[in-house]
Amino acid sequence: ANLEHATSRMMQQQQSREARLAERSKAYQQRRAAVEAQLAERNAQREAQERQWRAAMEARFQHCKEAIDSSRMSMTQRSLRNSSAFGNTTRAWKQMLEEESRQRREHHTLAETNSARRLSERRDHERRARSEAGLHHRRVVEQTLSSKQQLDHKREAHMVAISNAVDEKNASIRQFRQQDEAARQARVRNAYAIGSMMKEVERGMLVKNMPPQEVRSQLPSI
């Protein structure tokens, strides 16, 4: 009964652990879905902001270019002198735009990398926790089975000892009965022998014409 109670309790504990693991897995899936949704939203926002920023920069660049083109058209010698400066300004603007775009991409890439790393670490932690819980459950089951096997061995040894004791008791009873039967048969033989002897003695005395009362008085008592 104790073993059945322990087994039932162990099964209940296993079911509760499985339920907790299922809840944790469900919560993990929900958190993962939320994180992925946040990442997708952030990526969409980043792309939208980048498009807006690029459009604004292009508008600014176009405005500058149009201003420079209008200035070039209105100037002759001065625009020619400033053409190299315009090229340098254009290259500087392009370099500035490319540098800012590169920095923004690196910033968002680093943020995504950190988020992915934290998600991977959380997943590894939950996997280790599930593995440790499974190992603990396996050790508990093995200990329970070992205890049950020990109880079975003890019960079997106890039954063998009881069977041996019963066999010894039956053998002693049979021996006592055999000895009692031999003693009874010996008493019967002795009684027959004594009776025969008494009859012989009584017959011999009667031959001598002695009264039966005297014969019986001279016989030994049985």
Tell me the whole-structure pTM to 2 decimals. Answer: 0.29
Residue for token pair 């405005």: 63
Residue 222 has pLDDT above 70, yes or no: no
Q: What is the mean pLDDT of the chain?
A: 79
pLDDT in tens, 136-168: 888 888 888 888 888 888 888 888 888 888 888
CA distance 174 to 183: 14
The residue among 133 and 219 whose pLDDT is bigger is 133
Q: What is the pLDDT of residue 82?
A: 57
Q: How distant is the alpha carbon of residue 80 from its chain centre?
A: 84
Q: Convert the pLDDT of each residue in 52-74 to its tens digit.
A: 988 888 888 888 888 877 766 66
Separation of alpha carbons 218 and 222, rounded Å: 12
Query: Whose CA is closest to 34, among 46, 42, 45?
Result: 42
Q: Read off the tokens for 24.
A: 């944790």
